[in-house]
Structure 1
Amino acid sequence: MRNLRLMMKEQTPLYIFVAVLFLVGVVFGALIVSALTMDQQQELGDYLGNFFVTVDQQGLPGAQESFWNIAALHLKWVGLIWILGLSVIGLPGILILDFLKGVLIGFTVGCLVSQYSWHGLLFALVSVAPHNLVLIPVLLVTSAAAIAFSLLMIRSRVLGRTRTPVTRPFAMYTLLSLGMALLILGVASFETWVTPVMMRWVTPMLV
Structure 2
Amino acid sequence: MMRNRTLEQYIKEHLSFYLFVGVVFVTGVVFGAVMVNALSLEQKQELSRYLGSFFASVHQGGLEGDVTGSFKDSFSMHIKWFLIIWVLGLSVIGLPLILILDFLKGVLVGFTVGYLVGTLSWKGLLFALVSVVPPNLVVIPLLLVCSVTAMAFTIHLVKNRFISRKGALYEPFMRFSGVILASGALLLGVAVFEAYVSPVMMKWVTPMLVTMSGS
> Normalising to structure 1: TM-score of the pair?
0.93
Amino acid corresponding to residue 39 of structure 2 in structure 1: L
In the other structure, the counterpart of 1:92 is: 96
In the other structure, the counterpart of 1:43 is: 46
In the other structure, the counterpart of 2:140 is: 136
SS where residue 36 of structure 1 aligns? coil
Amino acid corresponding to residue 166 of structure 1 in structure 2: L
Displacement of 1:161 in angstroms is 2.9
Moved over 4 A (4+): 2-8
| Residue 161 (structure 2) aligned to one of 157, 163, 180 | 157
In the other structure, the counterpart of 1:71 is: 75
Percent identical across equivalent pairs? 54
* 1:143 to 1:4, Cα distance in 2 relative to 1, 3 A: farther
Give the Cα–Cα distance (whole angstroms) in 2 for the partners of residues 168 and 56 of structure 1: 50
Residue 29, structure 1, aligned to residue 27, structure 2: no
| Residue 107 (structure 2) aligned to one of 99, 103, 111 | 103
In the other structure, the counterpart of 1:55 is: 58
Give the Cα–Cα distance (whole angstroms) in 1 for the partners of residues 206 and 164 of structure 2: 58
Displacement of 1:132 in angstroms is 0.5
> Normalising to structure 2: TM-score of the pair?
0.90
Residues 110-189 of structure 1 aligned to structure 2 (within 5 Å): 110-158=114-162, 160-161=163-164, 163-189=166-192
CA contact (8 A) 1:109 1:124 kept: yes
Amino acid corresponding to residue 140 of structure 1 in structure 2: L
Displacement of 1:193 in angstroms is 1.0
Amino acid corresponding to residue 121 of structure 2 in structure 1: S
Give the Cα–Cα distance (whole angstroms) in 1 for the partners of residues 183 and 7 of structure 2: 14
* 1:4 to 1:180, Cα distance in 2 relative to 1, 3 A: farther
| Residue 194 (structure 2) aligned to one of 191, 194, 197 | 191
Give the Cα–Cα distance (whole angstroms) in 2 for the partners of residues 196 and 57 of structure 1: 11
* 1:82 to 1:8, Cα distance in 2 relative to 1, 3 A: farther
Displacement of 1:120 in angstroms is 0.5
Aligned residues: 206
SS where residue 88 of structure 1 aligns? coil
Displacement of 1:205 in angstroms is 1.2
